[in-house]
Amino acid sequence: MSLLNYSYTLVISDTSIKNNIAIFIAHTHICSKPIIKIIYHTVNITSTEAKLFAIRCSINQTINLPQISKIIVITDSIHTAKRIFDSSIYPFQTHSASISKELRKFFLTNNDNSITFWECPSWCNWSLFKSVNRDTKQFQQTPLFYYKLF
What domains appear along the chain, each with residue ranges and CATH number? 8-140 (3.30.420.10)
Q: Which helix (H) or strand (E) holds 75?
A: strand 70-75
pLDDT higher for 140 or 67? 67
Is pTM, for the whole model, over 0.85?
no
Question: CA nearest 35: which of 54, 71, 10?
Answer: 10
pLDDT at 53 over 50: yes
Mean pLDDT of 29-52: 80
pLDDT attached to residue 150: 47
Mean pLDDT of 49-55: 80
Contact 53, 24 (CB under 8 A): yes
Mean pLDDT of 27-45: 81
